[in-house]
Amino acid sequence: MFASPGPFVLQIGPLSIRWYGLLFATAVLLGTSLAHREAIRRGEDPEQLLNVIVFGVMCGLIGARLYYVLFNWGYYGSRPLKILAVWEGGLAIHGGLLVGALAAAVYSIRKKLPVLTYMDIMAPSLPVGQAIGRWGNFFNQEAFGIPTDLPWKLYIEPYYRPPHLAAYEYFHPTFLYESLWNLLVFAMLYFLLRRRMQRTPGALVLCYVGLYSIGRFFVEGLRIDSLMMGPLRAAQIMSLVLIVVSLVGLMRLRTGQLRSHRG
C-alpha cells in the first residue's frame, strides 16, 4: 500500500512548486536530450530537431488541455479561468499526441525537413516522457482505477474519491501500470528496434503508436475517470484506431520495401 504525499514539492507563502509541473519539465528535458543524441547519431541537424520539438511540445500541450476540457465542458464551462490551470492536472495524452504530431509534421514540411525520420528520432522519447509524467497523477491523486485490495493498492483521500465510491479507501494505481508499460515500450523501441528500423523511415514511430495503444487500452479499462463518448471510453476507442493505423502503416511500409527490392 502507498499514498501520495500531496501535490506540492515546495510551498513558501504564495509561491508553490507542484510535482505535476516539475515532472512534466523533467520529461520534456529527458526526452529532448535522448532525441538530440539520436539526431547526432543519424547525422541530422540537432538544432533543427530542437525547433521541431519545441513547436510540437507547445502545440501538444494545448491540444492535450483542449481535448480534456472539451470532454469536461460541464465543469470548465462554468469555471473558464480553470482552463488555464494545467498545473492542477487535466491533460489528455491522445489530444497531445495528435495535435503535437500534426504540428511537428507541418513545421517539418514547411522547413523541408525529413518528416518521418524526425518522427522516428523522437519516438523513443515519447514513452519515457509519458512514464515520468504519469507520476504527476499520483501526486495529484487522479487517474486512479477501481477499488482493490491488492498489496500494491493506492490510498486515496476522501476528498478525491468519486461520490459513488466514497466508502472505499484503496484503488488500482493505474498511473503506475501505464508508467511501467511506457518504460517497457521505451526499452523495446530504444534497445531492440531503433537501429533495426532505421532504414525504414516511419516504422519506429508506428511501432510506438501501436505498442503504447495496446497498453493504454487495457489500463483504461480499470480507470473510473475515463473521458466518455456515449457509453464507450474515448481512450479505448482512440487506442483501437491507433492500433489499426499502426498495423496498416507497418504493412504498407513492408510492402513498399518488398517492391523496391524486386525493382
Render pLDDT for 208-246 as a digit per residue (tens, 0 to 9).
999 999 999 999 999 999 999 988 999 999 999 999 999
CA 216, CA 239: separation in Å to the nearest integer?
Answer: 7
pLDDT at 244: 98
CA distances from residue 208 to 67, 79, 217 in whole angstroms, order as listed: 21, 36, 14
CA 123, CA 35: separation in Å to the nearest integer?
Answer: 8
**Does 230 map to a domain?**
no
* pLDDT beyond 90 at 1: no
Element (H, E) at 204: helix 203-220
In Å, how far from its chain's centre is CA 121? Answer: 16
**Domain count along the chain:** 1
In which region does residue 2 sit, left (phi positive, over 0), alpha (psi from -120 to 50) or beta (all else)? beta
CA 212, CA 229: separation in Å to the nearest integer?
Answer: 21
**Does 207 map to a domain?**
no
| Domain span holding position 141 | 2-199
Element (H, E) at 252: helix 234-262
pLDDT over 90 for what percent of the chain?
A: 85
**Does 218 map to a domain?**
no
pLDDT at 258: 61
pTM score: 0.94
Find, among 50, 40, 60, the residue nearest to 108 by Cα.
Answer: 50
User: According to the 3-state scheme, what is the secondary structure of 68-127?
Assistant: HHHHCHHHHCCCHHHHHCHHHCCCCHHHHHHHHHHHHHHHHHHCCCCHHHHHHHHCCHHH
**Does 214 map to a domain?**
no
**Does 115 map to a domain?**
yes
**Does 174 map to a domain?**
yes
Judge contact between 23 and 129, C-beta under 8 A.
no
**Does 228 map to a domain?**
no
Instruction: Name, in order, each residue with C-beta under 8 angstroms of 74's C-beta and a sequence gap of 6 or more.
Output: none
**Does 239 map to a domain?**
no
Element (H, E) at 16: strand 15-18
Strand, coil or helix: what is 49?
Answer: helix
* pLDDT beyond 80 at 57: yes
pLDDT tens sequence across 175-209: 999 999 999 999 999 999 999 999 999 999 999 99
How do strand 170-171 and strand 232-233 relate by DSSP bridges?
unpaired
pLDDT tens sequence across 125-144: 999 999 999 999 999 999 99
pLDDT tens sequence across 67-121: 999 999 988 988 898 898 877 778 899 999 999 999 999 999 999 999 999 999 9
Element (H, E) at 182: helix 174-187
pLDDT at 53: 97
Q: Give the pLDDT mean for 5-28.
A: 92
